[in-house]
């Protein structure tokens, strides 16, 4: 309540001068529709947030193979340990549950939202709305949720029902009930005592090392199983060219996701054996393959690693970094 | 040159300084350079004798007491002693790529309930964005009367709060669901930290924008490459959610969301969205990837729990532990941490025989809601093997469950929210191993 009419009228004259009533503390600037629109990218199961535009399963196939398959596999089966997108039906109540888009995800909208905000991994928010519709449609098709004629748009997409939707329920913990017992609370004769397996934990910082890598650049799941094979990783110090020095930053942001682990047949940086035949082709061919994309015997190199925001020079520099690290 | 004044050669340095004083100014620099190079060659034997530890022990004069040390601001931002090895560490085979991965806090080395900012565990889904605070904005919109854009300066004008709260990844201990696996405390329990967080209560910001009556949920979104997004119910926002810019007395670290993050005390860490750029108020949850595909709990019947936000009461013994074995028989203080996402820790008990019999411990220092709480038990270790366990009880009366009790409910193939009683096997040699009793 205002103490007097005059105070109220002063207050009123202050607030009507803005387009919006100020909050209790009057801090901040009005967020205009235009400002909000640029950042308001979220999509909800009821279709809220889905933009105008459309995409087909057919268009999605090419996009998926160029931008997604190098990690997620040609059929959504997952390369290496990158996420599996398809299959897994009927496994959720088994000892080896496979949680894929088709077997687990409760809402199709999540697919659109996530692809659009965070994929491809090395180039988030680089896909157009139509591309996102197409890739989403194709992944639904890989999961037998839509047929190959499906056209995804604001209306059709919001109507897609996912098979596992009904199997989610709200947290009902606390579940496990323990008692604060003090004497004879368990029967030691029934104890089954399980110890750890050697060679799983990096313990070099406090005891004789178990040989397990302590960071991603030393090793990864596939590399760990390859210890002792002929794929030798170079550990000698390398003097880099200026081009390669420029390329290191690009490599860290855009290339190492695949080239440090060797997924999708990517030659691992530092793996001389894997690189020797490639280097023999000459830098020009390597650069062309890296810029335009390349389907090789071992796997697929997406154009610019799937990150179209990179300039050709960025890619050339990164190639130089990888080559010089690997010979 | 600075480093050259630090070697353990006080007498030589003194001799050189004396010699240099007799020289003319123009020659002095060259003498010092040449002199020190020559000294480096002939002095290796002496250096070895100087680093012999016993020469620093009583009754001898320690080397570091026999000359001046570095002066003020020799390190404008200080760091731990070179003799410490306080580090985040990871288990690289857990994830494919470091930009979407996790590292763990060295709980074995912590000396209190505050986790130093530099070793707070990391969890990224798209690496650490390098956010310029002058160009960072928080937009609050949706079902509100007054959608706002807030700068960092705007945010600091709001009435602020500072709270000591833990943050824990719900996957903490997740590698142990199927069996004992990690041979180090840092990896069994290190997705956990406790800091003082400074910021504005989200409820204050919501007052400022005016939530419409139909507004029931808030989408929090980060400015990282993953565009991390989670749906937060309004009741949490009105209870204790903080929009934080400060951590342990300074700006947030980039790893922790600089310049702005959400903090949902007691809830799974993933809900505390870092590099916060947007809050949208809506009438229903968004069901985004990190609250459907991930961070849901698949149950043995094939159905799944969602919105499993709270981190239930948990505890672990930090000394002894695999990294800190029992070094000698005699008096020992068994120490550890307990924490609960539902409030304060009421008590912690320990068992030496794998959970057959239990003893009460003492709580030490600050006992705060949703914060790491220290417990202590004084005893003697005389070389006998122990199956050491700790059991937390929180102020709701919840008793930390056994592994069997947890598996009976959730099966052995879960990922998140494993808060069962943990067992260290102290062997006759004093070495400590991770074991599971079921």
Looking at chain B, which residue has its C-alpha nearest residue A119? B226
B95-128 pLDDT, tens per residue?
888 999 999 999 999 999 999 999 999 999 999 9
Q: Which of B326, B278, B174, B57 is nearest to A117 (CA)?
A: B278
Looking at residue B4, what is its pLDDT?
A: 31
In sequence order, the 6+-apart residues with CB closer than 8 A to the CB of A78 are A71, A72, A84, A85
- Name chain A contacts of B306, Cβ cutoff 8 Å: 168-171
For chain A, 327 residues long, give each residue's pLDDT as a single digit of tens: 334 444 444 444 444 444 556 889 999 999 999 999 999 999 999 999 999 999 999 999 999 999 999 999 999 999 988 999 999 999 999 989 999 999 999 999 999 999 999 999 999 999 999 999 999 999 999 999 999 999 999 999 999 999 999 999 999 999 999 999 999 999 999 999 999 987 789 998 998 766 688 777 654 433 333 333 333 333 445 678 888 888 888 887 778 777 876 766 788 888 888 888 888 888 888 888 888 888 777 677 878 887 778 888 888 888 888 888 888
Q: Tell me if A284 is assigned to some domain.
A: yes
3-state helix, strand, coil in chain B (%, to 5): 25, 30, 45
Contact at CB, B304 and A167, closer than 8 angstroms: yes
**Do both A251 and A157 map to the same domain?**
no
CB contact under 8 A, B305 and A173: yes
Mean pLDDT check: name the lowest of B54-58, B278-282, B415-419: B54-58
Interface with chain A: mutation pick from B286, B394, B398, B410, highest number of A CBs within 10 Å: B286
Of the candidate ranges A287-291, B60-64, B174-178, B431-435, the one whose mean pLDDT is the lowest: A287-291
Q: Which residue of A has its CA nearest to B84?
A: A205
| Beta-carbon count within 10 A of B266 CB | 24
Distance (Å, whole) CA A136 – CA A114: 10
Quick check: A219 and B145 CB within 8 A?
Answer: no
Residue-by-residue DSSP string for A47-97: -TTPPS-EEEHHHHHHHHHHHTHHHH-TTS--STTSPP-S--TT-TTSSS-
**Cis check: omega of the bond before A120, within 30 degrees of 0:** yes
- Nearest of A234, A244, A230 to residue A322 by alpha carbon: A244
Q: Where are the domains of chain B?
A: 2-65, 92-305, 314-435
> Assign residue A130 a region: left if phi > 0, alpha if psi is -120 to 50, beta otherwise?
alpha
- For residue A240, what pLDDT is reported? 81
Cβ pair B7, B49 in contact under 8 A:
no
CB pairs under 8 A between A and B: 296
The per-residue pLDDT for A295 is: 75
Distance CA B356, CA A181 (A): 9
Chain A interface disruption, residue of B90, B97, B141, B188, most A CBs within 10 A: B97
Confidence of residue B52 (pLDDT cuts 50, 70, 90): low
pLDDT for the residue A264: 67
Domain endpoint, select from A107, A132, A167: A167
- In terms of domains, do A18 and A102 share one? no
Question: What share of chain B has pLDDT > 70, as a percent?
Answer: 88
**Å from B142 to nearest chain A CA?**
9
Euclidean distance between CA atoms B183 and B180, whole angstroms = 8
Neighbour-count burial of A244, counting CB atoms closer than 10 A to its CB (0-12 exposed, 13-18 middle, 19+ buried): buried
| Least confident span in B23-27, B86-90, B205-209 | B23-27
Selected residues 253-312 of chain B with any CB under 8 Å from a CB in chain A: 277-278, 280, 282, 284, 286-289, 292-293, 296-298, 300-310, 312
Domains: count for chain A = 3
Question: Is B148's CB within 8 Å of A173's CB?
Answer: no
Residue at which a domain ends, from A113, A139, A167? A167
Q: Which residues of B94-112 are buried (b: 16+ CB within 10 A; e: fewer)?
A: bbbbbbbbbbbbbbbbbee
Residue-number span of the structural domain to which A25 is assigned: 5-36
Would you say residue A127 lies in a domain? yes
| Tokens describing residue B201 | 């209560």
Contact state of B139 with A35 under an 8 Å Cβ cutoff: yes
A217, A221, A253, A215: which is closest to A233 by C-alpha? A217
Helix-helix angle B25-42:B10-21, to 10 degrees: 150
Q: Quickly name the fold that domain B314-435 has.
A: Immunoglobulin-like (2.60.40)
Residue of A nearest to B393 (CA): A180
Q: Is pLDDT at B10 greater than 80 in this prediction?
A: no
Alpha-carbon gap: B166 to the closest alpha carbon of chain A (Å): 20
CATH number of B92-305: 3.90.420.10
Residue of A nearest to B354 (CA): A188
Please count the CA atoms within 13 angstroms of the CA of B105 that sit on its side-chain side: 28
Q: Return the residue of B nearest to A182 by Cα.
A: B358
d(C-alpha A203, C-alpha B185), whole Å? 11
CB contact under 8 A, B355 and A186: yes
pLDDT confidence of residue A116: 98
Instruction: Decide if B335 contacts B319 (C-beta within 8 A).
Output: yes
Instruction: Note the pLDDT of residue B43.
Output: 39
Give every CB contact of residue B53 below 8 A, 6+ residues apart in sequence: none
Residues of A whose CB is below 8 A from B217: none
- Closest-CA residue in chain A for B211? A23
Q: Does B346 touch chain A (CB under 8 A)?
A: no
> What per-residue confidence (pLDDT) applies to A237?
55
**pLDDT at residue B37 in the model:** 40
Arithmetic mean of pLDDT over chain B:
90
Q: Looking at chain A, which residue has its C-alpha nearest residue B298?
A: A92
| pLDDT higher at A310 or B358 | B358
A46 to chain B: which residues are within 8 Å by CB?
284
DSSP reduced 3-state for B308: coil
Last residue of a domain, one of A111, A143, A167: A167
CA distance B226 to B100: 9
Give the residue-averaged pLDDT of B73-92. 96
Give, in order, the Cα–Cα distances in Å from B262 to each of A57, B27, B54, B167, B302: 38, 61, 51, 11, 32
Worst-scoring range by mean pLDDT, A212-221, B130-139, B402-411? A212-221
C-alpha distance from B205 to closest chain A C-alpha (Å): 9
What is the spatial distance between Cα B301 and Cα A169, in angstroms, rounded to a whole number? 12
Q: Cα–Cα distance between A103 and A162 in angstroms, integer? A: 9
pLDDT score at B13: 37
Rounded to the nearest angstrom, the minimum Cα separation between A199 and chain B is 9
pLDDT of residue B83: 96
| Residues A123, A60 within the same domain | yes
Nearest CB partner across the interface for A219, out of B92, B308, B438: B92
């Amino acid at each position: 309540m205002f103490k007097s009419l005059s105070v109220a009228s002063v207050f009123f004259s202050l607030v009507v001068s803005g387009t919006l009533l100020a909050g209790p503390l009057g801090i901040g600037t009005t967020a205009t529709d235009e400002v909000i629109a640029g950042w308001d990218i979220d999509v909800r199961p009821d279709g809220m947030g889905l933009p105008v535009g459309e995409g087909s399963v057919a268009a999605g196939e090419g996009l998926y193979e160029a931008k997604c398959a190098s990690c997620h596999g040609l059929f959504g089966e997952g390369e290496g340990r990158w996420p599996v997108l398809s299959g897994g039906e009927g496994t959720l109540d088994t000892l080896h549950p496979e949680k894929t888009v088709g077997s687990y995800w409760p809402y199709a909208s999540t697919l659109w939202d996530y692809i659009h905000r965070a994929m491809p991994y090395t180039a988030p928010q680089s896909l157009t709305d139509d591309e996102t519709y197409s890739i989403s449609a194709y992944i639904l098709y890989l999961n037998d949720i839509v047929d190959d004629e499906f056209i995804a748009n604001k209306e059709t997409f919001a109507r897609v029902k996912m098979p596992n939707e009904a199997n989610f329920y709200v947290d009902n913990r606390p579940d496990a009930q323990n008692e604060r017992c003090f004497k004879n609370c368990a029967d030691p004769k029934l104890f089954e005592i399980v110890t750890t397996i050697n060679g799983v934990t990096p313990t070099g910082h406090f005891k004789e090392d178990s040989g397990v890598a302590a960071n991603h650049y030393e090793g990864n799941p596939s590399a760990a199983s390859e210890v002792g094979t002929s794929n030798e990783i170079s550990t000698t110090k390398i003097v880099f060219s200026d081009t390669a020095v420029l390329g290191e930053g690009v490599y860290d942001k855009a290339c190492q996701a695949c080239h440090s682990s060797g997924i999708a047949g990517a030659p691992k940086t530092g793996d001389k054996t894997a690189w020797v035949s490639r280097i023999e082709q000459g830098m020009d061919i390597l650069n062309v393959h890296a810029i335009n994309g390349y389907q090789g015997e071992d796997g697929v190199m997406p154009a610019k690693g799937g990150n179209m925001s990179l300039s050709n020079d960025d890619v050339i520099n990164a190639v130089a970094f990888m080559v010089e690290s690997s010979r | 040159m600075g480093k050259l004044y630090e070697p353990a050669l006080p007498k030589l340095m003194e001799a050189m300084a004396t010699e240099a004083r007799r020289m003319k100014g123009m020659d002095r620099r060259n003498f010092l350079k040449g002199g020190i190079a020559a000294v480096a060659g002939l002095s290796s034997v002496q250096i070895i004798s100087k680093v012999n530890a016993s020469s620093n022990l009583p009754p001898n004069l320690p080397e570091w007491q026999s000359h001046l040390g570095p002066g003020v601001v020799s390190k404008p931002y200080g760091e731990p002693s070179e003799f410490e090895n306080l580090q985040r560490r990871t288990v690289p085979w857990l994830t494919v790529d470091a930009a979407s991965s996790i590292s763990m806090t060295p709980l074995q080395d912590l000396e209190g309930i505050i986790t130093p900012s530099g070793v707070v565990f990391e969890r990224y889904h798209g690496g650490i964005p390098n956010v310029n605070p002058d160009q960072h904005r928080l937009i609050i919109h949706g079902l509100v009367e007054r959608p706002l854009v807030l700068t960092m300066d705007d945010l600091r004008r709001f009435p602020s709060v500072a709270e000591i709260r833990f943050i824990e990844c719900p996957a903490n201990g997740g590698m142990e669901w199927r069996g004992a696996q990690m041979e180090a405390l840092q990896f069994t329990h290190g997705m956990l930290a406790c800091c003082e967080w400074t910021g504005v209560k989200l409820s204050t910001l919501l007052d400022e924008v005016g939530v419409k009556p139909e507004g029931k949920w808030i989408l929090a979104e980060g400015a990282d490459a993953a565009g991390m997004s989670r749906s937060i119910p309004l009741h949490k926002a009105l209870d204790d959610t903080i929009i934080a810019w400060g951590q342990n007395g300074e700006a947030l670290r980039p790893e922790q969301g600089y310049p702005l993050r959400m903090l949902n005390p007691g809830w799974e860490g993933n809900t505390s969205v870092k590099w916060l750029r947007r809050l949208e108020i809506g009438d229903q949850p968004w069901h985004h990837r990190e609250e459907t595909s991930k961070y849901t709990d698949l149950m043995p019947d094939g159905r799944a729990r969602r919105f499993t936000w709270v981190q239930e009461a948990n505890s672990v013994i930090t000394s002894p532990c695999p990294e800190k074995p029992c070094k000698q028989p005699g008096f020992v203080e068994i120490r550890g941490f307990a924490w609960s996402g539902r409030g304060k820790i009421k008590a912690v008990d320990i068992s030496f025989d794998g959970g057959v019999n239990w003893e009460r411990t003492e709580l030490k220092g600050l006992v705060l809601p949703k914060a790491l709480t220290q417990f202590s038990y004084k005893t003697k270790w005389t070389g006998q093997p122990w199956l050491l366990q700790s059991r937390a009880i929180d102020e709701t009366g919840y008793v930390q469950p056994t592994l069997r009790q947890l598996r009976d409910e959730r099966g052995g193939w879960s990922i998140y929210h494993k808060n069962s009683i943990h067992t260290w096997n102290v062997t006759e040699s004093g070495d400590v191993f991770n074991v599971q009793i079921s």
